[in-house]
A = this chain, B = another copy of it.
Amino acid sequence: MAASATVQFMSLRAFWFLPLLLILLESAGGADAAKRKPLTMADVLAASQAADWEALDPENTLYLELASGRVVIELAPNFAPHHVTNVKALAREHYYDGLAIVRAQDNYVVQLADPNAEKPELARKIQHAKRTLPPEFDRAVNPKLPFTRLPDDDVYAPQVGFSGGFPVARDSKSGKMWLIHCYGMVGAGRDAPADSGGGTELYVVIGHAPRHLDRNVTLLGRVVLGIELLSALPRGTGALGFYEKPEQRVTIKAIRVAADLPLTERTDLQVLRTDTPLFRDLIESRRNRREDWFKFQAGHIEICNVPIPVRKGQ
């Protein structure tokens, strides 16, 4: 599959210009030409080298298996190490298998949980993992973690940018950084107490970034493939989008750690690195859209509108 075909968030009609752009790029000398003219995202990706991409780490990749297919989730151990460890432990003891997506709230989240969580005699038991954990809403800024700062401001945070393929915010005053609730981000649902989550309930953002949740819930990963298996689910008609009838729920066949599957059963994916000059070019190509279709250049970009391209392994 060509890289362009797996890139998410392709823009209105922009795709049609891709073949022409690739031809122009080739005939003008590839990456050198790219430096001489304003770039489209197609230009940027066409100029990418193998080193601009990074394979998913199978030990930090989850497969959420539904009857409709596989959702691939990249975990974020740099930001929620204890939650990531716990979710993997839950997956490895098959805690999730047979549970269900119990909620799909339009322009907000889908959520998976144990439908019997409130019934002690029926609730799924946990063997080795933990049911709850202290929150990991933010973490201390670590200068060793890469941070590609967005050139634009943000409504919610002093600084925003990307670290290891994830959208993050930073505050130099508090010395904290945290993951951002962009589309496709995965978090650990919780009840009212801050330490009542732990990964037994997971939610995925399927709407406009609910940034008011930042630092209120532990984010632990991002859907990198198959989001449409979640975002196109029928919305629940109960309060908060909960399904009102058990038969409306979508069964979780399994959640697996990719490393536990034989190579032939894994989904071989690469994510564009976010700590490269090429990724800065990509950001610029989205701040000012150079495709012919655009009559007005925004000149800015909001953090959750920056795509993080994913492609199949080469």
Contacts and interface: CB of A to CB of B under 8 A. Distances in A.
A213 interface: yes
Contacts of A296: 137, 214-216
A155 B302 contact: yes
A152 B211 CA distance: 14
Interface in A274-314: 286, 289, 292-296, 298, 300-302, 304-305
Given A210-B305, A286-B212, A9 B300 contact: no
A183 interface: yes
B235 A106 contact: no
B13 A155 contact: no
A64 interface: no
A: contact size bracket? 35 or more
A108 interface: yes
Interface string A210-251: 111111110000000001100111110001100000000000
Nearest to A303: B155
Nearest to A227: B106
Contacts of A104: 232
A78 interface: no
A11 B211 CA distance: 12
Contact of A298 (B105, B156, B182, B228): B156
Contact of A106 (B210, B215, B228): B228
A306 to B, nearest CB: 11
A107 B12 contact: no
Given A106-B231, A155-B152, A215-B296, A208 B304 contact: yes
A106 to B, nearest CB: 5
Given A214-B298, A300-B155, A232 B292 contact: no
A50 interface: no
A106 B230 CA distance: 10
A84 interface: no
Nearest to A302: B155
Contacts of A228: 106, 234-235
Contact of A156 (B210, B231, B233, B302): B302
A166 B74 CA distance: 37
A252 B68 CA distance: 26
A10 interface: yes
Contacts of A209: 208, 302, 305
Contacts of A213: 12
Contacts of A192: 13, 292-293
6 contacts: A10-B240, A12-B109, A15-B240, A16-B239, A106-B227, A106-B228
The 10 A-B pairs with the shortest beta carbon distances in the complex, nearest first, are: A228-B235, A215-B296, A155-B302, A106-B228, A15-B239, A212-B298, A183-B208, A155-B300, A208-B208, A107-B183
